[in-house]
């Protein structure tokens, strides 16, 4: 395909869509599909067919529309109407009343002027809710693959890296390493063969950002990877996606097939010398395989265990070759940056944390769902304006970011801007985007225990501190939460947490104690209230040398 042909496809598709009187989109991502969305789709199609409207109304399954807690969601694209809690009967009503009679179905209307929508800025999720996740032409009509065309035909690889550097984009997997810097290192690393890897092994409890992007807009990720391949000089990419995401895998497979057929992946892309292929590797359910060195070993067909870094994958990665590893959301940001320029992106967010961040809102919050907000937005705005606050009758206690690797942010820090540096000051991390809200009914010792149980389960067992330390930390949390803990146990708990954090081999172990340390920091009283001193209890260290033989 040439650039001209790409534009032609876009034109043709836009014209085709223009022939319809209406465009109805329904969320076809896992969230809505799991609460009756598939039946809604069928009902919509049936209702259209029964009225012979198939040529007047187009029906498209799109990515996540955000308000997952109120799904299934259906949108009438033309006038922006959004319907919530749609079931088969409501679907029928939407067609009959809204499409045929022109009056909205009031009881299922979503107020789109609500701060939930107004406070969001969509870059990564820009196509979610409008374009069909399974049609490449729809993606192209929305400007898709233009960035790849621009990169390959107008920019030098170094120029692409420079644009990414200028954008200030940082790794969205959680650690926030500057993406442009990483691309530059891989580009300059010596080696004939290089690889691009997309980390789609999203595994934090309560996190579904990457899943939604893959399910809703898979081409965006492929395009970002291809641009990465061009920039660093790689001809092969791998997407490492967990097996628990069957819909994402299916959509990715389809997207790769379509992109290959269109010549947007494969040899001589846009008639250039650039070749790029993408293969999918499916994870077998180990959280640790989200750690880049373990992920690489897993792709190589070995046991997914991390190894010490350095060397970093950018120097020695897949099969020893320089490898660019970025997470799904990072790659999803690439195309718009190339399309609109690094400066445009850098103007969004804060100077050090540019752009937007996708969060999965979960826990004790009214609007659970997927949101995208500019970096630096105060946490209060996310929780109360967008999230609608905690359920009736409860008060906000804390928000956990970064899942089992992160920490909690207490109510007194609600005005904290959500960016990499600010979150670190309160002992949490940006993480990949899971945001779990706890209210006054949540017990913080239990929260810490829950995350530690997760880490015990997911530790690969390679290094001693993580393999054994997490078990002991969990045991102490259990003891304390059951009211059997002593002051000695609490001291030991803190000592173990510090040790596991300092000595573990990979990020999993190094960050595993964070939920404990952070709940101890802000909610220490919840621990000490549970401590007990049995009758005759002698805390250690009280034996006094002078007291002997006196």
Partner 1 sequence: MKPRVATAWLGGCSGCHMSFLDMDERLIELADKMDLVYSPIIDIKNFPGNVDVTLVEGAVANTEHEEMAHLIRRNSRIVVSFGDCAVTGNVTAMRNSLTREAVLDRSYVQLADITPQIPRDYPTIAELMTTARPLHEIITVDAFIHGCPPTADQIWYAVSQLLEGKIPALSNVYLRYG
Partner 2 sequence: MAILTLTINGEHVSGKDDESLLAIAEQHGIRIPTLCHLDGLSDVGACRLCLVEIEGTPRLFPACTTKPREGMVVSTDTERLRKYRRMIIEFLASEGNHQCAVCVVNNHCELQNMAYETALTHVSVPYLYPKKELDASHENFIIDRNRCILCTRCVRVCHEVEGAHTWDIAGRGIDCEIISDLNQPWGTSESCTSCGKCVLVCPTGALIEKGEAVSEMEKKTDFLRYIVTARQKREWVNLDSDEE
Q: What is the DSSP letter of 393?
A: T
Q: What is the DSSP letter of 202?
A: -
* Residue number with CB closer to partner 2 (121 or 463): 463
Q: Does residue 162 bind partner 1 (CB under 8 A)?
A: no
> What residue 100 binds from partner 2, partner 1, none (CB within 5 to 8 A, per partner kind)?
none
Residue carrying structure tokens 């299922």: 108
Minimum distance from residue 322 beta carbon to partner 2 (Å): 17
Question: Which run of H or E residues covers position 57?
Answer: strand 57-62
Q: Does residue 486 bind partner 2 (CB under 8 A)?
A: no
User: Going by C-beta distance under 8 Å and a sequence separation of 6 or more, which residues neighbour residue 385?
Assistant: 115, 116, 119
Q: What is the DSSP letter of 443?
A: -
Distance CA(21)–CA(219), nearest Å, equals: 27
> What residue 262 binds from partner 1, partner 2, none (CB within 5 to 8 A, per partner kind)?
none
The pair of structure tokens assigned to 488 is 């000695």
* Residue number with CB closer to partner 1 (160 or 480): 480
Minimum distance from residue 548 beta carbon to partner 1 (Å): 4
Question: Which run of H or E residues covers position 326?
Answer: strand 323-327
Distance CA(183)–CA(546), nearest Å, equals: 65
- Render the burial of 176-206: b for 16+ CB within 10 Å, e for the rest: bebbbebbbbbbebebeebbbbbbbbbbbeb
Select the residue interacting with partner 1 from 97, 439, 488, 494 (CB under 8 A). Answer: 488
- Render the burial of 333-358: b for 16+ CB within 10 Å, e for the rest: bbbbbbbeebeebbebbbeebbbbbb
> What residue 536 binds from partner 1, partner 2, none (CB within 5 to 8 A, per partner kind)?
partner 1
Q: What are phi and psi for residue 65, nearest 5 degrees?
A: -95, 0
Q: Sign of torsion, CA 173 176 180 186?
A: negative
Number of amino acids touching partner 1 (CB under 8 A)? 14
> What residue 435 binds from partner 1, partner 2, none (CB within 5 to 8 A, per partner kind)?
none
Stretch that binds partner 2, among 51-59, 128-136, 196-204, 462-470 (CB under 8 A): 462-470
Gap between the terminal Cα atoms of the chain: 94
Q: Does residue 478 bind partner 1 (CB under 8 A)?
A: no
| Touching partner 1, residues 519-538 (CB under 8 A) | 536-538
Minimum distance from residue 474 beta carbon to partner 2 (Å): 10
Select the residue interacting with partner 2 from 505, 516, 517, 520 (CB under 8 A). Answer: 505
What's the burial of 111, exposed, middle or buried (CB within 10 Å: 0-12/13-18/19+)? exposed
Q: Does residue 460 bind partner 2 (CB under 8 A)?
A: yes
Minimum distance from residue 506 beta carbon to partner 2 (Å): 10
Stretch that binds partner 1, among 16-24, 124-132, 381-389, 541-549 (CB under 8 A): 541-549
The pair of structure tokens assigned to 101 is 């009679």
* Residue number with CB closer to partner 1 (394 or 486): 486
Distance CA(35)–CA(68), nearest Å, equals: 10
* Residue number with CB closer to partner 1 (22 or 472): 472
> What residue 310 binds from partner 1, partner 2, none (CB within 5 to 8 A, per partner kind)?
partner 2
> What residue 461 binds from partner 1, partner 2, none (CB within 5 to 8 A, per partner kind)?
partner 2
Q: Does residue 459 bind partner 2 (CB under 8 A)?
A: yes
Distance CA(362)–CA(374), nearest Å, equals: 19
Q: Does residue 492 bind partner 2 (CB under 8 A)?
A: yes
> What residue 549 binds from partner 1, partner 2, none (CB within 5 to 8 A, per partner kind)?
partner 1
Q: What are phi and psi for residue 161, nearest 5 degrees?
A: -60, -40
Q: Are 288 and 508 in contact (CB under 8 A)?
A: yes
* Residue number with CB closer to partner 2 (286 or 365): 286
Q: Does residue 461 bind partner 2 (CB under 8 A)?
A: yes
Q: In 389-482, where do the E strands start and end? A: 396-401, 407-410, 434-439
Question: Which run of H or E residues covers position 273?
Answer: none
The pair of structure tokens assigned to 536 is 């005759």
Minimum distance from residue 455 beta carbon to partner 1 (Å): 24
Q: Does residue 539 bind partner 1 (CB under 8 A)?
A: yes
Minimum distance from residue 542 beta carbon to partner 1 (Å): 8
Q: Does residue 540 bind partner 1 (CB under 8 A)?
A: yes
Q: Which residues bind partner 2 (CB under 8 A)?
A: 286, 288, 303, 307-308, 310, 456-465, 467-472, 475, 492, 495-496, 499, 502-505
Q: Which residues bind partner 1 (CB under 8 A)?
A: 488, 536-540, 542-543, 545-550
């Amino acid at each position: 395909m040439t650039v001209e042909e790409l534009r032609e496809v876009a034109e043709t598709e836009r014209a085709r869509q223009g022939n319809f009187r209406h465009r109805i989109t329904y969320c076809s991502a896992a969230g809505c599909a799991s609460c009756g969305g598939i039946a809604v789709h069928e009902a919509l199609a049936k209702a259209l067919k029964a009225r012979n409207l198939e040529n007047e109304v187009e029906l498209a399954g799109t990515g996540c529309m955000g308000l997952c807690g109120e799904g299934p969601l259906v949108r009438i694209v033309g006038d922006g109407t959004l319907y919530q809690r749609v079931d088969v009967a409501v679907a029928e009503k939407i067609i009959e009343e809204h499409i045929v009679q022109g009056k909205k179905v009031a009881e299922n209307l979503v107020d789109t002027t609500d701060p939930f929508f107004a406070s969001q800025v969509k870059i990564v999720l820009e196509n979610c809710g409008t374009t069909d996740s399974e049609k490449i032409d729809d993606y192209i009509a929305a400007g898709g693959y233009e960035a790849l065309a621009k990169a390959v035909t107008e920019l030098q690889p170094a120029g692409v890296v420079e644009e990414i550097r200028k954008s200030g984009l940082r790794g969205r997997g959680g650690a926030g390493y500057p993406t442009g810097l990483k691309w530059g290192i891989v580009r300059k690393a010596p080696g004939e063969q290089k690889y691009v890897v997309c980390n789609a092994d999203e595994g934090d409890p309560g996190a579904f950002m990457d899943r939604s992007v893959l399910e809703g807009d898979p081409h965006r990720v492929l395009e970002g990877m291809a641009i990465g391949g061009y920039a660093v000089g790689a001809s092969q990419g791998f997407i490492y996606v967990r097996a628990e995401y069957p819909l994402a895998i299916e959509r990715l497979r389809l997207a790769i097939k379509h992109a290959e057929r269109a010549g947007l992946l494969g040899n001589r892309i846009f008639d250039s010398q650039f070749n790029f292929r993408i293969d999918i590797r499916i994870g077998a359910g180990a959280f640790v395989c989200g750690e880049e060195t373990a992920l690489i070993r897993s792709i190589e067909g070995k046991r997914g265990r991390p190894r010490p870094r350095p060397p970093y994958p950018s120097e020695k990665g897949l099969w020893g070759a320089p490898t660019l590893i970025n997470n799904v959301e990072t790659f999803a940001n690439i195309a718009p940056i190339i399309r609109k320029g690094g400066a445009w992106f850098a103007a969004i967010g804060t100077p050090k944390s540019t752009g937007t961040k996708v969060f999965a809102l979960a826990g004790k919050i009214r609007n659970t769902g997927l949101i995208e907000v500019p970096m630096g937005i105060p946490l209060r705005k996310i929780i109360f304006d967008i999230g609608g606050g905690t359920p009736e009758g409860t008060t906000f206690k804390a928000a956990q970011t970064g899942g089992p690797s992160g920490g909690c942010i207490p109510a007194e820090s609600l005005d904290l801007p959500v960016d990499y540096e600010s979150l670190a000051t309160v002992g949490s991390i940006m993480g990949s985007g899971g945001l779990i809200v706890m209210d006054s009914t949540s017990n913080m010792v239990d929260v810490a225990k829950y995350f530690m149980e997760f880490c015990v389960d997911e530790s690969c067992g390679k290094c001693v501190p993580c393999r054994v330390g997490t078990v002991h930390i969990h045991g102490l949390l259990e003891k304390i939460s059951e009211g059997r803990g002593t002051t000695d146990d609490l001291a030991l708990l803190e000592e173990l947490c510090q040790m596991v954090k300092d000595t573990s081999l990979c990020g999993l172990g190094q960050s595993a104690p964070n939920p404990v340390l952070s709940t101890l920091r802000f909610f220490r009283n919840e621990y000490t209230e549970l401590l007990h001193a049995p009758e005759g209890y002698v805390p250690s260290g009280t034996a006094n040398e002078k007291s002997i033989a006196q």
